[in-house]
Amino acid sequence: MTKIENPPSHPIDHLALRGVPDAPALLIGERVLSFADFDAGVGRLAAWLRERAGGPGERVASWGAKTRAICLMPLAAARAGLIHVPVNPLLKGPQVAHILADSGATLLVTNAPRADMLGDGRPADCAFEDLKAAETAIDSDGPALPPSRAGTDELAAILYTSGSTGRPKGVMLSHANLWLGAESVASYLKIAPDDRVLAVLPLSFDYGQNQLLSTWYAGGAVAPLDYLTPRDVVKAVARYRATTLAGVPPLWVQLVESDWPADTAALLRRLTNSGGALTPTLIDAMRATFPNAAIYPMYGLTEAFRSTWLDPALVASHPTSMGRAIPHAEILVCRPDGSVTDDDEPGELVHCGPLVAQGYWHDAERTAERFRPAPPASRHGGIAVWSGDTVRRDAEGLLTFVGRDDAMIKTAGNRVSPTEVEDAAVASGLVYEAVAFGIPDARLGAAIVLIVRGRGGDADRDGLAAWLRQTLPNFMQPQTIEWRDTLPRNPNGKLDRVAIAADWTRQVAA
């Protein structure tokens, strides 16, 4: 693999210029968009967006399935000088309303049913445009903007990610963050122009969006897929002759349990994983199901895109390792005083270098907590991301995950804030207090348990479950809801979350 330590970056919309003009860039249903068509479509969509969203620096949100317009939005918004705010299509009205208000989006591009879900929650100064109009603009003979001349440190996107407390926060990403992330992944995955990447992950995630960006950096083609069942993925691999598939552990569990024709499974050259660790048993099942595919375990955090990858040649001998730093990332394992740990000594993973984001949108307090000066040992210096994750580095330089300090629940590849689930429960008016936490689950990675203190009648129990189904997306739904007459508190008078979770665990074990 070519070493790409400090190459120049470019405005992210220049990815539309990377491929051979008549080579495929985007496969949507039966439609094939060449790189020449792709670049022209980005230009026309950019002109349409600029006219409707306002001047440079305005935020434009997109919320929908993986249509052509949704896939072109990250580049078109950047070409128009706008800041893209992709919204997870699984979210419901209250979460989307928060993102629109927090980002100050002046335009939301979505379909009418989704816009209706917002009701009165859509900010008054956020206009709505239908995705059908965006598709029409792409196909029109209207004006098209040329490749941008944006500074690579200018803000290009805000990706919203859940925090351990409070509502989702917006991670600010520059053109350089996105470009170098695409270059890094394309490099270590060895993506080639003849590759076809089946993009099944939500494009609102950094991992999901990078399915597009890294493929286009390499001059390859992306086939976006919104799937309902694992069988849909099997059919799509065959249909598009996909060579690459990115997933999260719960999806891999479903896929290895599916019926794969041998010639379809053999098409896949590489499988990538993030959003949770692969178990040795699952790795063995993936090897058996996809005999021609190299497996790439990875670790990342939205605040710095991605931190480590494990070379497929080491997966068999080090199945639980996170690997080493990806290109453009400097990863240090540090003690609380900032000094670097010895081999096999646990410490905090600190990510330094040009992939570090610009902080949280309009949130100086939380930015200061996570984005702090790099340790003295850093060769990059500047601001680093202090992950809060505890890891160990062995004598070979390989990292192993030890634990996470915050209370985030990672379920089905999604990071869920316990506070967001708790706030939704209390907002029902049926409970006084609520505590949410995750428990290990073989299929989901973690399942959500919700403990509440309320009136406790049968009608209230049924009503709370119905309220949560209406208010929260599917991946935030508690697997178990239990009612208590009282909840323990710590000396400060706050709910003792550790004691509540431990008490529930003891009762289940008994």
The whole-angstrom separation of Cα 506 and Cα 494 is 21
Long-range pairs for 374-379: beta carbons < 8 A, 24 or more residues apart: 374/350, 375/332, 375/334, 375/338, 375/339, 375/340, 375/350, 376/338, 376/339, 377/332, 377/339, 377/340, 378/330, 378/332, 378/350, 378/352, 379/330, 379/352
DSSP conformational letter for 11: -
Per-residue confidence (pLDDT) for residue 510, from 0 to 100: 76
CB 488: neighbour CB atoms within 10 A?
14
- Please answer whether residues 369 and 375 qualify as being in contact, where contact means their C-beta atoms are separated by less than 8 angstroms: no
- Please answer whether residues 450 and 478 qualify as being in contact, where contact means their C-beta atoms are separated by less than 8 angstroms: yes
List pLDDT tens digits, range 400-421: 988 766 677 888 888 887 888 9
The whole-angstrom separation of Cα 365 and Cα 506 is 37
Per-residue confidence (pLDDT) for residue 442, from 0 to 100: 84
Long-range pairs for 121-127: beta carbons < 8 A, 24 or more residues apart: 121/93, 121/94, 121/96, 121/97, 122/97, 123/97, 126/61, 126/100, 127/52, 127/53
**Three-class secondary structure of residue 107 per DSSP:** strand
First to last CA, the chain: 53
- Please answer whether residues 249 and 274 qualify as being in contact, where contact means their C-beta atoms are separated by less than 8 angstroms: no
Per-residue confidence (pLDDT) for residue 347, from 0 to 100: 95
Query: What pTM was estimated for this model as a whole?
Result: 0.87
Domains of the chain in sequence order: 1-217 (3.40.50.980), 227-405 (3.40.50.12780), 409-509 (3.30.300.30)
Per-residue confidence (pLDDT) for residue 410, from 0 to 100: 85
Per-residue confidence (pLDDT) for residue 459, from 0 to 100: 63
Per-residue confidence (pLDDT) for residue 293, from 0 to 100: 98
Per-residue confidence (pLDDT) for residue 276, from 0 to 100: 79
Per-residue confidence (pLDDT) for residue 7, from 0 to 100: 66
Per-residue confidence (pLDDT) for residue 1, from 0 to 100: 33
Per-residue confidence (pLDDT) for residue 457, from 0 to 100: 61
By DSSP bridging, strand 107-110 and strand 59-63 are parallel
Query: Consecutive 10-residue runs of the chain (510 residues): their mean pLDDT?
Result: 61 98 96 97 98 95 98 98 96 92 97 94 94 98 96 97 70 98 98 98 94 98 96 98 94 93 98 88 94 97 95 95 97 97 96 97 95 97 95 96 76 84 88 90 91 76 91 94 87 76 87
The set of residues, in sequence order, having a beta carbon less than 8 Å from that of 501 and lying 6+ positions away, is 435, 437, 449
Q: Is 284 exposed, middle or buried (0-12, 13-18, 19+ CB in 10 A)?
A: middle
